[in-house]
Amino acid sequence: MISRRSFLVSAGAGMAAGSMVSSIAFANHHEKIPLGIQLWTVKSEAQKDLEGTLRKVYAAGFRDIEFAGFYDKSPADLAKLMKGIGFNLVSTHHGAADIAKKGDQIIADAKTLGLKFIVCSSPGVSPEKDKLPWEERMKAVDLNDWKWNADLFNKFGKQVSDAGMKFGYHNHTAEFKKFDGVTAFDYLYGHTDPKHVNIELDVGWVFVAGEDPIAILNKYKDRVIALHVKDFPKRGAGGKDPGSVALGEGAIDWKKVIGTAKANGTKAFFYEQEEPFTRPILDSVKISGDYLTKLAV
């Protein structure tokens, strides 16, 4: 970023040099965020027609991809298909249990795809909790589970770093449960190595948990390597968690959130929406792509 003082010094060297520096500063100031999508958003459509769905996602303006499964294709074949359409392959999600069992293969697949990030999508739990339905399992995660996850992430994160990529963890709402006055989120990042364990902040789930995403972004700064750009309306009177909606239709101030993340060094932004949907999901993908394109950050 060119400071005002640097600009004035450059301008003093001559009108041509000053004009060039001014143009660069203007271009950087107005640089748009890269439009990314977590493919979990369109999983049902992709399972029925992978290439057709991907081409519709591309037409909606999305270019950066985060995977949530490989649709029964080899990483090499998937990379060929998606790069042929024009996508940038950036990130992939894997659960902690899979990372513990087959971390080496996950890293090898990510390298084949040419990814920058490997992200843990959800925490590991003790065997008895693993049998519970998803929501009950997440509510049952305790401090011993978080200690196990922190140890796993330190080990696997170092392997990912050594392979030339970055490792991160993706939150839901369970991370904001407190243990002895400290959230599991802060415990996890206080007990993992910042050189090897980063953050993919799901802003939507932060909002649903009643936490402040701006405060988290400013606390952890460039440790946040990616955002999940997931919109929610305000919680209803009954207190039930709301369903996610197309971007711009919820209550989150995305200009402020994305602007803060960009200023702190975050470079990847993945739109995600989860079932139940209020309209055909590919219509919401188009609405969300248009919203991000027009967002002035």
Position 59 pLDDT exceeds 70: yes
Position 149 pLDDT exceeds 60: yes
pLDDT of amino acid 119? 98
Which has the closest alpha carbon to 183: 200, 193, 198, 171? 171
CB 156 within 8 A of CB 197: no
Mean pLDDT over residues 248-264, rounded?
A: 97
Instruction: Give the Cα separation of 214 and 216 in Å (integer).
Output: 5
Position 165 pLDDT exceeds 80: yes
Question: In the numeric block, which tokens belong to residue 296?
Answer: 């002035």
Which has the closest alpha carbon to 283: 114, 54, 48, 56? 56
pLDDT over 70, % of the chain: 88
Instruction: Give the Cα separation of 105 and 179 in Å (integer).
Output: 34
Beta bridge partners of 182: 179
